[in-house]
Amino acid sequence: MKKWVISDAIVITSDGVVESGSVSVANGKVAQISTDDISGAIRIDVQGAVLSPGLINAHDHLLGTYYPKVGNGPYENWLPWDNDLKSSPIYRERQQIENADLYLLGGYRNLLSGVTTVSDHIPHFVGDPYYDTLPMKAVREFTMAHSIASFALAWGGEIHTEYQAAVDKKIPFVTHISEGFDAETVQDVKVLNRQGGLGEYSVLIHGIAFSKSDMELISEKGASTVWCPDSNMYMFNETTDIKMQIESGINVTLGTDSPMSGGLNLLTEMKFAKKLYKSMYGEELSDEMIFKMVSSNSAKAFHNSLIGSIKEGNTADFTLVRDRGGSPHNSIVDARMRDILLVVVDGLPAYGDLEFAHVFESLGVDYQEIVVDGVDKVVTGDLIGLLKRISRAVGFKKEFPFLPVDFDF
C-alpha cells in the first residue's frame, strides 16, 4: 500500500491534541505523527479540520437496520417490545429484504456517521457470513449471550462457558443485561456474577435497572458497559444512572442499538446523550467524556488496543470532521452528517467529500459519487444500487433519515 499523508489537521492523539499536525499512513497503520511536514506521494491538506480516531459504535444489531421505530412503550422488559416489533407491518416490510442487503444498510448507516468499527450483537452463524461485505468493520472475535433472564433468546452457550472462552482468547463477552424492571431482570447482575460471567472481559449492554450495589460490583470486577440512551428512553422512558456509573469508575461506552428502537446513528446518539444527561442531572456531560465513550473506552471494552486512538503503530482508522471552532472534542460530538469530511478504514478511504476523490483513485479504491444531505460525497461500494434493491424489494422508494442520499427509483 502506498504511503499517504493527511496534513494541517487538528489531531486528537492518544497523548492529547496536536495543532497543525500531520499523520502519515503506510500498510494500513499510522506510520508517523508530527508537527512538521511529512513527505508522501499522496498528500491532502485539510486546513485545520479535526482528525479523530475512527468512531466505535459499541452496540448495534445490523440485521435489524430499518426505519421507522416500532413500539408502544414503556415496557417492563425487552420481550413485549420484541413481540410488538415482530407483529408490526414495518417488520413484515423489512422481511422482504435480503439479509445481505440489511447488513450493508447497517454498514453504510454506520460509515456515513463516521463509524469505522461496530459491535454487532448477534450469533456468529448469523453475522459472520456478511462482515467481509461491509464498508467498515465489525468486531469479529467475541463470545456472547443474548441476556441473562430465563426468557433470553438462545444465543451462545452456558454463561460460564462463554465467559471462560472470552478469558482464554482475551476477547469480549457481550450480553444485554438489566434491560427492564421485572422481578427477574433486576437481579441480572447478581445472577451473572453467580454464573461466572462477570469480569474484565464482560461488555454489559443497557443496565437500565442497575442498582448502586450492581455498579459497585461491576466496577470491582472491571467490566465495561454500553449506554444506549435513545433506545432506553424510547422503550422504557428511563435509562441507567449514567452519572453514578461514571463516578463508580466503570468503563462506559456508547451504542446506538437498532434504529427500530434507538438513535438514527452514532452522531445523533452523542447529541441525545449530552442533552439527556443535562436534563437528568442539571449539569453538562463533557464532550471529552462522550468522545472517550466512542473511542478509547470502546477499544478497551473490546480488548483491541490498536483502535480507538491515533498512535504510531495503531490501525489507521480515522474520522475527519469540520472544525466547529470550539474544542476538538466538541467538533466530533456536535458534528452533523454533512460535517463528516473523510472516513478512513484500515488505512484506505471509504467515504468523504468529493474533493478527496483523488485519494480514492490514487490508492486504488473504487468509489461512487453520491449526494448526502445536499453535499457531494464519494463512497466505496454501490450505495445507490443498495437503496434501489431495497426499494424494489418493498415495492416503493424506501428512504432512510440515517442515509439521506439522493437516488432515482
Q: Are 108 and 383 in contact (CB under 8 A)?
A: yes
Give the per-residue pLDDT at 220: 98
Considering the chain, what is the average pLDDT of its residues?
A: 97
Task: Decide if 308 contacts 296 (C-beta within 8 A).
Answer: yes
Q: What is the pLDDT averaged over residues 105-126?
A: 98
pLDDT band at 48 (very low <50, low <70, confident <90, very high): very high
Q: Which residues pair with 205 in a beta bridge?
A: 176, 226
Average pLDDT (295-302) is 98
pLDDT band at 285 (very low <50, low <70, confident <90, very high): very high
* Contact between 196 and 215 (Cβ < 8 Å): no
pLDDT in tens, 195-230: 999 999 999 999 999 999 999 999 999 999 999 999
Q: Give yes or no for residue 91 having a pLDDT over 70.
A: yes
What is 348-409 written as a DSSP string?
Answer: EEEEEEGGGHHHHHHTT--EEEEEETTEEEEEES-HHHHHHHHHHHHTS---BTTB-B----
pLDDT at position 312 = 97
Q: What is the domain partition of the chain in residue ranges?
A: 4-54+309-394, 55-301
pLDDT at 370 over 70: yes
User: Residue 59: what pLDDT?
Assistant: 98
Cis peptide, bond prior to residue 68, ω within 30 of zero: yes
The 10s digit of each residue's pLDDT in 165-204 is 999 999 999 999 999 999 999 999 999 999 999 999 999 9
Instruction: Measure the CA–CA gap between 37 and 39, rounded to whole angstroms.
Output: 6
C-alpha cell at 409: 427509483
CATH class of 4-54+309-394: mainly beta
Res 39: pLDDT:
84
Which superfamily is assigned to 55-301 in CATH? Metal-dependent hydrolases (3.20.20.140)
Task: Categorize the per-residue pLDDT at 351 as very low, low, confident or very high, splitting at 50, 70 and 90.
Answer: very high
**Confidence at residue 378, expressed as pLDDT on a 0 to 100 scale:** 98
According to the model, what pLDDT value does residue 328 have? 98
Cβ neighbours, 10 Å, residue 238: 14
Q: Is the pLDDT of residue 338 over 80?
A: yes
Q: Give the pLDDT score at 65.
A: 98
Please state whether 179 falls in left (phi above 0), alpha (psi between -120 and 50) or beta.
beta
Work out the end-to-end distance of the chain between its first and last CA atoms, rounded to an integer number of angstroms. Answer: 38
The pLDDT value recorded for residue 2 is: 81
Q: What is the pLDDT of residues 54-88, one digit of tens each?
A: 999 999 999 999 999 999 999 999 999 999 999 99
Query: Could you report the per-residue pLDDT of 21-30, keeping only the tens digit for each?
Result: 999 999 999 9
Measured distance CA(353)–CA(141) in Å, rounded: 32
Question: Would you place residue 1 in the very low, low, confident or very high pLDDT band (cuts 50, 70, 90)?
Answer: low
Q: How confident is the model at residue 322 (pLDDT cuts 50, 70, 90)?
A: very high
- pTM of the predicted model, to two decimals? 0.98
> Is residue 45 scored above 90 in pLDDT?
yes
Could you give the C-alpha distances from 4 to 25, 92, 378, 402, in angstroms and in order? Answer: 5, 46, 18, 31
Residues with Cβ < 8 Å from 227, sequence gap 6 or more?
207, 239, 240, 242, 245, 252, 253, 254, 255, 273, 293
Residues 107 and 379: their CA atoms lie apart, in Å, by 12
pLDDT of 257 over the 70 cut: yes
Torsion over CA of 47, 48, 53 and 56, rounded to 10 degrees? -100
